[in-house]
Amino acid sequence: MTAGSDHYAVVTGASSGLGKALAEELARRSHNLLLVSLPGTGLPELSDNLRGQNNVSVHFIEADLMRREAPEEIANYAREQGLEVDILINNAGIGHGGEIGEYSDDAIEESVFLNMRCATLMTNLFIDELKRRERAYILNLGSFGGFVPLPYKSIYSATKSYVYHFSLAIREELRGTGVSVSVAMPGPIITNNKVRERMVQQGFISRSNALTPEKAAAYLVDKMFRGQPVIIPRWTIRMAYGVGALLPYRLLMIILGRLFMGVD
């Protein structure tokens, strides 16, 4: 990606964790930004910092993506401001865990709306704009858990499986256009203290495979620009996927069930 682009990258869930790191990585590469996150999460301050440190244009929208109208409002804002979008990063999501029957209605709705519905709507709303660019990119954030059913993370893994299949399907639909679609399927990323506690519960394997948001973002952005369809940071996670594919299904479910039992 050339420095000093006049185009904009839309990043959802941009105020913290991996979303913030992705915004910082793109700004470091001199890419203009339209950042989206919840109100009261520090988005104005982050935008000011990115402008000052990287000499890029940064717009932001404080929006609750659980609102049905939010994706269309974001697309309308970009259009009204004349922002030429060439990157869409659907990062916003949530990872509730628990045993089926114990989920609250809110937890189920958040998982389905943020992990599936929001990414689908944002892609559908921005695709015509992206097609106008000579070269454009979509990066959807899945999870390593999207490759297999995860007991005690059943809804999360199912929604991330949707993201995986949706991304690869539209990648094929867009073949021959200038739009490249990638799906990130990372293992654990240390985004906050709750994630740290979860990795402690899960033991040495989880901790040893974890990545900081900054390292994950640099890897994901680089592979996105290279047009890689499925991006799995860290060779140990790629190896774990290969090993898991060879295990008998019942044994794999027992291992995963023990790993995630009691983990929020």
Predicted confidence at residue 191, as pLDDT, reads 65
Predicted confidence at residue 149, as pLDDT, reads 81
pLDDT digits (tens, 9 = 90+) for 184-239: 999 888 765 555 455 545 454 455 567 899 999 999 999 999 999 999 986 566 55
| pTM of the complete model beyond 0.95 | no
Predicted confidence at residue 251, as pLDDT, reads 66
Predicted confidence at residue 204, as pLDDT, reads 45
Predicted confidence at residue 145, as pLDDT, reads 84
Give the architecture (CATH level 2) of 8-260.
3-Layer(aba) Sandwich (3.40)
Average pLDDT of the residues in 3-11: 81
Q: Identify the bridge partners of residue 218 per DSSP, sorted by sequence position.
A: none
Question: Which two tokens mark 231?
Answer: 């991006």
pLDDT band at 177 (very low <50, low <70, confident <90, very high): very high
DSSP E strand boundaries for the chain:
8-12, 32-37, 58-62, 85-90, 136-141, 179-184, 230-231
246: pLDDT strictly greater than 60: no
Predicted confidence at residue 89, as pLDDT, reads 98
Measuring CA to CA, which residue among 233, 185, 187 is closest to residue 207?
187
Predicted confidence at residue 152, as pLDDT, reads 85
Average pLDDT of the residues in 4-16: 90
Instruction: Quote the distance between the C-alpha of residue 97 and its chain's center.
Output: 18
Low-confidence winner among 13-27, 43-57, 147-161, 245-259 (lowest mean pLDDT): 245-259
Q: Got the DSSP string for 20-77?
A: HHHHHHHHHTT-EEEEEE-TTSSHHHHHHHHHHHH---EEEEE--TTSTTHHHHHHHH
Predicted confidence at residue 4, as pLDDT, reads 47
Looking at per-residue confidence, does 56 or 245 come out higher? 56
pLDDT band at 150 (very low <50, low <70, confident <90, very high): confident
164 is catalytic: no
pLDDT digits (tens, 9 = 90+) for 78-114: 999 999 999 999 999 998 888 999 999 999 999 999 9
Amino acid at residue number 163:
V
pLDDT digits (tens, 9 = 90+) for 121-143: 999 999 999 999 999 999 999 99
**Candidate list 156, 162, 164, 219, residue with the active-site label:** 156
Amino acid at residue number 180:
S
Predicted confidence at residue 1, as pLDDT, reads 40
pLDDT digits (tens, 9 = 90+) for 18-74: 999 999 999 999 999 999 999 999 999 999 999 999 999 999 999 999 999 999 999
